Structure 1
Amino acid sequence: MKSWFISCILVTEWLLPTSGEDCPSPPPVNNSILVGTCMEGNFLGTYICITGYHLVGKKELLYNNTSLEWDSPAPICRLGHCPIPVLVNGQMNSSNLEHFSDGDVVTFECDTDYILKGSNWSQCQEDHTWIPPLPICRTGQCTPPRKPENGHFKTKGFNSGTNVTFYCDDGYQLIGPQSLQCMDGEWSHESPICEKMEAKKEESCVFQENNICETVQKWIQYQKASGQTLEELKYSLEIKKLQLEKIKFS
């Protein structure tokens, strides 16, 4: 196994060791440093850009002696510490739009009808990254919410600030918020669901003598018609029961 250290600055000059191992010459990358290893005709190289340049592409290249080809295209070293920021549906503001050095700051703004998500500025770091992370521009319109099974919703649109109201079919009840609001491209809550309502149990009578059962049923019907509370109904039934017992033993 052979290892070597190669530098390529502006002018490509490769100083490859002579050995019995038939290793290919790695593709030249200006303004880079290459660390390579050759073993049995297979070559693995790692490209490192010099100060003031950043790598674009895959930093490692592998030559396979079986397939006789490189696993990916050679990278390039581009001037500037950081890659040029890309803001879809927006634009960046900077005095220099071609290359960015350590400490350079850019600001961002979105096109009309788009909302900035993230920081409106970022600074180029020495390690070739942008801090804070680059933002994105999102449309202020919300995607249509999920329609609940056994239900539906009504709305005048999906723009920011509009509301959506949900309704369930007969025999189903709404579980969750009935209304959602679109806020900067996102809904205020999760969509509700429609759950099947349990069937109401029929009232049954436990009394079987002296027409008490019939009386209770009549009082239940009266309670529904009059709007009495259960406590009021209970009190009335107790009085009626005492009256019936008094008649029974008189």
Structure 2
Amino acid sequence: MFFRFVCCLVVVWLISASDESCSEPPPVNNSIFVAKEVEGQILGTYLCIKGYHLVGEKTLSCNASKEWSGPTAKCRLGHCPDPVLVNGEFNSSGPVNATDKITFKCDDDYILKGSSWSQCLEDHTWQPPFPICKSRDCGPPGNPLHGYFEGNDFTRGSTITYYCEEGYRLVGTQDQRCVDGEWSSALPSCEAPKPAPRTALEKALLAFQENKDLCKATEDFMQRLKECNLTMEELKYSLEWKKAELKGKM
């Protein structure tokens, strides 16, 4: 192993001098270039010195012409990569050093998702990770199976209403509102009513046999539906299911 100094570049060869046959690597100030043999191929890697961070491809390969192939990297002053926040801004205008903190703020009509600050660490990383600025408008909502929604405005504050196809009942929140880029409730579902228990169905229908007064019979019928926790939709489904069952036995 031996060392060469090229401008401000330190070159370290981890191969024997007799094997050294590649040209000088492109100089990158404030870096160390380490060359070693990997599976018969000579690869070189740039490592920036403390206080600098790498921009570009850090690894080059020595080709058949004994030249180093690949774009040249740079070591830029500042310990961490430049922060990025689309549709927002942060309080940093130059290179960032270790222990520096920055804060984030989103543009109007966008809401911050994630941490409002991040710190540059010794290992050249930002923690917590950078947030994102999400639009306060909502995307098109989904449709439940056997259901649909009404409404074509998905901007902040708009509302939509879910409905189910005939024969299905809605389970979940029917009316939903766009709040800070999210719909106010989870997607509802449309379920086919289950046949009512035979005893509950018979108990409700007996009201018409027990009272000849139609108004009184209807009143008792509705009361018994309530006592059995049955809805008219469930009753309708149960009667249709019973009808189909009888046809199947004929």
TM-score, normalization by structure 2:
0.69
Aligned residues with identical type, % of pairs: 45
Q: 2:155 maps to which residue?
A: 159
Residues 218 and 93 (structure 1 numbering): CA distance in 2 closer, same or farther, change over 3 Å?
same
Q: CA deviation at 1:35?
A: 1.6
| 1:69, distance to aligned residue in structure 2 (A) | 6.6
Alignment of 1:1-250 (within 5 A): 11-12=8-9, 18-20=17-19, 22-38=21-37, 42-65=41-64, 70=69, 72-94=70-92, 97-155=93-151, 157-198=153-194, 218-219=209-210, 225-228=218-221, 229-230=223-224
Q: Residues 4 and 187 (structure 1 numbering): CA distance in 2 closer, same or farther, change over 3 Å?
A: farther
SS state at 1:101 partner: coil
Separation of aligned partners in 1, 2:32 and 2:43: 14
- Structure 2 unaligned regions, length at least 5: 226-250
1-side partners of 2:38 and 2:21: how far apart?
9
Structure 1 unmatched ranges of 5 or more: 207-214, 232-250
CA deviations on 1:173-194 (whole Å, 9 max, x unpaired) are: 1133223332211223321122
State the SS of the aligned residue for 1:144.
coil
SS in 2 for 1:227: helix
Distance, in Å, in 2 between the alignment partners of 1:197 and 1:86 is 51
- Tell me the C-alpha RMSD between the 2 structures: 3.7
Q: Cα distance 1:4–1:89, how it changes in 2: closer, same or farther (>3 A)?
A: farther
- Alpha-carbon deviation of 1:108? 1.7
Q: Distance in 1 between matches of 2:80 and 2:72?
A: 19
* Count of matched residue pairs: 216
What is the CA-CA distance between 1:114 and the residue it aligns to? 0.9
Residues 78 and 216 (structure 1), Cα distance of their counterparts in 2 relative to 1, 3 Å cut: closer
Q: TM-score, normalised by structure 1?
A: 0.69
Post-superposition offset of 1:81:
0.3
Larger Rg: 1
